[in-house]
């Protein structure tokens, strides 16, 4: 937060005793070394994070922190009451969805807490639980919007979503490996680069009130690609590097001189 982040991206899980915690993984092996699921433990039983944790989108690099405790979503809302947050729901868990919805209401932040999920069925449940919270595109909705764009029909179709969250195709086969097979990753990189990396698409979405955020970018060259495309923002594991890049871009240029 010292780097003046504009928005948080939070993956949430539910403990056995019904506490909403911020955790990327359901299983705790990668994060803590304990081969148990979050929902099999009470909140007080959750293990500490590892002293060093390999960064998911930067293999071979590790994060360190002084506080290794898992945190409740409620604690995040208390600490940052007016900071927008994207809350991703990965599983069809009605109790989790309703607790997130109620937390957003109780902290009077429904309008700045964004629903995110890959699946349409989960997003439908999220929207029903708290319709005041903005939505991000699901995978199927993203594909549908891209199809409409290339058919020339997108200007004539309503867009209820407010956030388009997408991986940057240039990170495939470098820091992001969606498939175990190398040639599948290469093919995926080529196809998605052609389909997604269109300034006109991004501009159209923004003109329609949709913020376009690319994830998960950890290198300056990727920041450059995303912002050159016109992205509203990027998600990163290295906010200090992103802040340094943004500050450098904002520095006024010295006037040109001639001899």
Q: How much is the pLDDT for 251?
A: 64
Question: Residue 170's closest CA among 191, 149, 148, 151?
Answer: 191
**Confidence at residue 63, expressed as pLDDT on a 0 to 100 scale:** 82
- Supply 20's token pair: 């909403």
- Report residue 205 CA to chain centroid gap: 18
Task: Output the pTM of the full model.
Answer: 0.89
In this predicted model, what pLDDT tens digit does every residue of 40-69 receive, in sequence order?
A: 999 999 999 999 988 877 778 888 878 899
Q: Give the separation between CA 72 and CA 13, rounded to whole angstroms.
A: 10
Domain ranges of the chain: 1-135, 136-250
Given a contact cutoff of 8 angstroms between Cβ atoms, the answer to whether 136 and 164 are in contact is yes
Please state which CATH number belongs to domain 1-135: 3.20.20.190
What DSSP state is assigned to residue 46? Answer: P
The SS3 call for residue 13 is: strand
Q: Taking the CB of residue 25, how many other CB atoms lie within 10 A of it?
A: 15
Q: What is the pLDDT of residue 190?
A: 82
Task: Name residue, tokens 């409620």.
Answer: 74
Stretches where the chain sits below pLDDT 70 are 1-3, 173-176, 251-259
């Amino acid at each position: 937060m010292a780097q003046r982040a504009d928005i948080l991206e939070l993956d949430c899980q539910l403990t056995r005793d019904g506490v909403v915690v911020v955790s990327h993984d359901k299983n705790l092996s990668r994060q803590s070394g304990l081969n148990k699921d979050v929902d099999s433990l009470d909140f007080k039983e959750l293990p500490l994070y590892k002293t060093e944790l390999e960064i998911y989108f930067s293999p071979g690099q590790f994060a360190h922190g002084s506080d290794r405790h898992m945190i409740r979503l409620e604690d995040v809302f208390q600490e940052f009451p007016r900071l927008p947050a994207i809350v991703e729901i990965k599983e069809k868990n009605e109790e989790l969805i309703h607790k997130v919805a109620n937390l957003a209401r109780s902290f009077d932040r429904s309008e700045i807490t964004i629903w995110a999920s890959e699946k349409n069925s989960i997003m439908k449940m999220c929207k029903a639980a708290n319709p005041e919270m903005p939505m991000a595109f699901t995978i199927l909705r993203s594909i549908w919007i891209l199809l409409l764009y290339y058919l020339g029909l997108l200007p004539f179709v309503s867009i209820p979503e407010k956030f388009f969250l997408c991986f940057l195709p240039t990170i495939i086969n470098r820091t992001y490996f969606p498939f175990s097979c190398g040639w599948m990753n290469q093919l995926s990189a080529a196809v998605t680069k052609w389909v997604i990396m269109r300034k006109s698409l991004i501009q159209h979405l923004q003109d329609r009130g949709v913020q376009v955020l690319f994830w998960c970018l950890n290198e300056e060259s990727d920041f450059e690609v995303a912002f050159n495309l016109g992205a509203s923002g990027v998600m990163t594991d290295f906010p200090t590097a992103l802040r340094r890049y943004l500050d450098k871009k904002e520095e006024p240029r010295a006037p040109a001189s001639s001899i």
